[in-house]
Amino acid sequence: MNELLVDAAWLEGHRDEVVIADVRWAPTLGTQEAERLFAAGHIPGAVFFDVDRDLAGTAFTGGPGRHPLPTPEGFAQTLARAGIGDDDTVVAYDLVGGSYAARLWWMLDATGRRCALLDGGLGAWPGPLETGTAQPRPATEVAARPWSPELVADADEVREALVAGATVLDARAGDRYRGETEPFDPVAGHIPGARSAPWTENLAGGGFLRPAGELRERFETLGVHDGSAAIAYCGSGVTAAHDVLAMRIAGLGTARLYEGSWSDWVHDPARAVATGEEP
């Protein structure tokens, strides 16, 4: 298998060797509805992850933004409930080009665990679907591993990176970047100096990622080069993981994730906001 991306044919032949994770989520869906859709049809053997419940903390964690990272202990407990041990390999998928499954990939990768995305997501699965609730393997003891400060950035570090000339990428849709619309946060626009890099442009169509060479060309055009210290953000730190993954696939190293992203940036009215096209 590719350490970052697998196709449906590979997964069909290796289901017993990995844990399959269905990250079926949308900002307006709600956990109960997502679970209902999962029960109506998923890849056989898959376990279910909800972004709000399983892949984000709460205000009590002290984290920034609408989807702060859970505590290391909380994430370890979530993995244990899903039957995922420290030595397991996970293949994650969703219904929208990997934009939410990439959040689980990032969290596992950031804590030294193995995870790949299913290219094309659920739509690429050639076999019959399984119905009913998830039946995870018996829970295993999972170590609580801290989030590496080398992989996570906060607002001050984003500001310092921009002053130093680093590339900061905004993974949201272009109209949100330009400040023409903002469906979730109280202020529209983007971080001054950030470049627009919608995660959707990592896709070739049908939920499949573009070839590595095309991804490399895309991000080099945006100012990301070998050894450069890029930072990616989105609305709340979820879909920005798709840009981080795409840069890795492109061979451009590991970008940092601005954990709180735009929802954190605008929390402080003293932080500058830009609108319009590229700087």
Contact 167, 231 (CB under 8 A): yes
Q: Choose, from 234, 240, 245, 250, the residue flagged as catalytic.
A: 234
Distances in whole angstroms, Cα of residue 250 to Cα of each of 195, 197, 253: 18, 15, 8
- Encode the chain in three state secondary structure: CCCCEECHHHHHHCHHHCEEEECCCCCCCCHHHHHHHHHHCECCCCEECCHHHHCCCCHHHCCCCCCCCCCHHHHHHHHHHCCCCCCCEEEEECCCCCCCHHHHHHHHHHCCCEEEEECCHHHHCCCCCECCCCCCCCCCCCCCCCCCCCCEECHHHHHHHHHCCCCEEECCCHHHHCCCCCCCCCCCCECCCCEECCHHHHEEECCEECCHHHHHHHHHHCCCCCCCCCEEECCCCCCHHHHHHHHHHCCCCCCEEECCHHHHHCCCCCCCCECCCCC
**Which of 232, 228, 222, 223 is closest to 258 using CA atoms?**
232
**Known catalytic membership, residue 234:** yes
Which residues carry out catalysis? Answer: 234
